[in-house]
Amino acid sequence: MKQVRKLLGVVLAAAVLIAAVAVPAKEAYAAPTAAVHPVLHMPDGGDFDPAFYAQQNPDIVPIIGNTTVELYKHFLQYGRKEGRAYMKGVVKDPQVSEDGSSISQVTVTDGGRVYITTADVETGESSVEVVEPLEMKLLATCSTPYKTNCARGGNVELASAFINGSVVFPGEVFSYSNTVGPRTWERGFREAGVYLQGEIVQGMGGGICQVSSTLYSALLDTKLLVVERHPHSMPVTYIATGRDATVSGNVLDLKFMNNSEHPVYVQSFCEGGYITVMLLEMTWA
């Protein structure tokens, strides 16, 4: 479990780093170039690649379609048990231990099996640990439409990237505001429309409430405990009444507790003008 927690931390750190790089210059807003398919970080070390999954499994595309949501659902429900490959094999960069005494090398196969080779720096002796693939059960999912290629859309995509890959262990509380972090220009956020005292005004990070609302709507379809949620002061157009959740600085937040027996994994991604949030239960096979 300790090694898996460490591996989870490496994956999550990589997700945050990817989301934080390439901040556009302050002179103008530059919308990020959206990939044909987002690659979803997996908690057991691999990255689910929807394009690769569709290419390797052409028999399922005519039946379920070619969207990331449907491909990932198929993998969760059938693909892993059937041994379908969901990514190209990869050898990750070596990781040095905190005390500098050992170096670990993570290798992930096409089927998602993870091998961790650890070498002792002084003796050169090495050992190989096999991390069995995690069972991922879809608890709930929600998708909402947003306008791409604009400041607000960029904020939605950035906030989505920051919460993607979050792991909430049993008894832990997830804070949306803390996970997204400060909404500043330096971190890539831009000014867009926000609600303030019954009016729409320009505010830094406008649009991130759509991500929190999409997450909250998914939470409503689970037994996870919502410990803090605040509705918008006016109706929103992208989600049904009562399923929204606004956030504001460190004052208003969306929080939920994992009151289940297993870790909960948050997948969040943007594709085709939709933000999708998936909540998954993680268990070891």
Name the amino acid, one letter, at 69. V
What is the Cα gyration radius of the chain?
20
- β-strands 173-175, 166-168: how paired? unpaired
> Which residue ranges in the chain fall short of pLDDT 70?
1-36, 193, 196-201, 284-285
What is residue 61's predicted lDDT score, i.e. its pLDDT?
93
What is residue 235's predicted lDDT score, i.e. its pLDDT?
85
What is residue 6's predicted lDDT score, i.e. its pLDDT?
44
Percentage helix, strand, coil for the chain under 3-state DSSP, each rounded to 5 = 25, 30, 45
The answer to whether the CB of 245 falls within 8 A of the CB of 180 is no
What is residue 44's predicted lDDT score, i.e. its pLDDT?
73
What is residue 20's predicted lDDT score, i.e. its pLDDT?
38
Per-residue model confidence as pLDDT tens digits over 198-229: 666 677 778 899 999 999 999 999 999 999 99
Both tokens assigned to 249: 């600085």
pTM over 0.85: no
What is residue 207's predicted lDDT score, i.e. its pLDDT?
86
